[in-house]
Amino acid sequence: MFKYSKDGVSVLTTQDTRRKKQSGLYPVKIQVVFNRVQRYYNTGKELSQEEWTTLSSSKSPKLMAVRSDIKNSFEKIENTVRSLVEEGSFSFDNLNIRLGKCVGDTLNTAYKNKINSLIETGTIGNSSVYSCSYRHLEKYAGDKIAFDAVTVDWLKKYEKYMLTEGKSYTTVSMYLRCMRAIFNEAKSVGIIKEAQYPFGRGKYEIPIGKGRKMALTLSQIKQIITYTDGTEATEHYRDLWFFSYLCNGININDLLKLKYSNIDGDEIHFYRSKTLHTSKEKKEIEALITLEMKQIIERWGNSDKSPNSHIFPFLDGYNTPMEQKKRTQDVTRRINKRLKMIGDNLGISGISTYTARHSFASVLKRSGANIAYISESLGHSDLKTTENYLASFEKEERIKNAAFLTNFGDE
DSSP H helical segments within 7-142, as ranges?
A: 49-54, 61-87, 92-98, 107-120, 124-141
Residues 6+ apart with CB under 8 A from 282: 35, 271, 276
Q: Determine the pLDDT at residue 393.
A: 44
Pairing verdict, β 37-47 and 263-264: unpaired
Residues 6+ apart with CB under 8 A from 239: 225, 296, 299, 300
End-to-end Cα, the chain, rounded Å: 88
Q: Are 389 and 371 in contact (CB under 8 A)?
A: no
Q: Which CATH number does 218-400 carry?
A: 1.10.443.10
Q: What is the mean pLDDT of each run of 10 residues along the chain (411 residues)?
A: 89 88 88 89 88 91 90 89 85 75 74 82 78 95 92 96 92 93 81 88 83 77 95 97 96 95 95 69 85 97 94 88 89 96 93 91 88 88 75 54 65 49
Q: Determine the pLDDT at residue 346.
A: 95
Measured at the alpha carbon of residue 273, what is the angle toward residues 267 and 277, in degrees to the nearest 5? 125
Residue spans of the domains in the chain: they are 3-88, 100-196, 218-400
In 3-state terms, what secondary structure has residue 90?
Answer: coil
Q: Determine the pLDDT at residue 406.
A: 65
- Half-sphere exposure of 179 toward its Cβ, with a 13 Å CA cutoff? 33
In this structure, what are the phi and psi dihedrals at residue 5, rounded to the nearest 5 degrees? -150, 135
Q: Determine the pLDDT at residue 276.
A: 65
